[in-house]
């Protein structure tokens, strides 16, 4: 895959995401993912928030190699 092909693929993905974002909230459940890292090219931490229904606070899970939470290896934040 050439650099040009990669750039075109990324641009198509951005266009699809912009189109979906423009449509707005389409119902529940709703999930949000945030990537954190030392710079804009590497992610060292992933945080996911999931709102299963309209409620004031979302359940937030973080992935940690030393812990597990349910089937997906996720741990609710704030738990030990």
> Which tens digit of pLDDT belongs to each residue from 10-64?
999 999 988 988 888 778 888 888 999 998 888 899 999 888 887 665 556 666 5
> Which tens digit of pLDDT belongs to each residue from 18-33?
898 888 877 888 888 8
H helix intervals, the chain: 3-23
């Amino acid at each position: 895959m050439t650099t040009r092909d990669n750039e075109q693929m990324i641009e198509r993905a951005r266009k699809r995401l912009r189109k979906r974002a423009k449509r707005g909230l389409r119902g529940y459940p709703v999930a949000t993912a945030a990537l954190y890292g030392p710079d804009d090219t590497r992610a060292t931490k992933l945080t996911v928030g999931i709102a299963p229904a309209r409620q004031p606070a979302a359940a937030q899970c973080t992935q940690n190699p030393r812990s597990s939470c349910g089937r997906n290896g996720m741990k609710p934040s704030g738990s030990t």
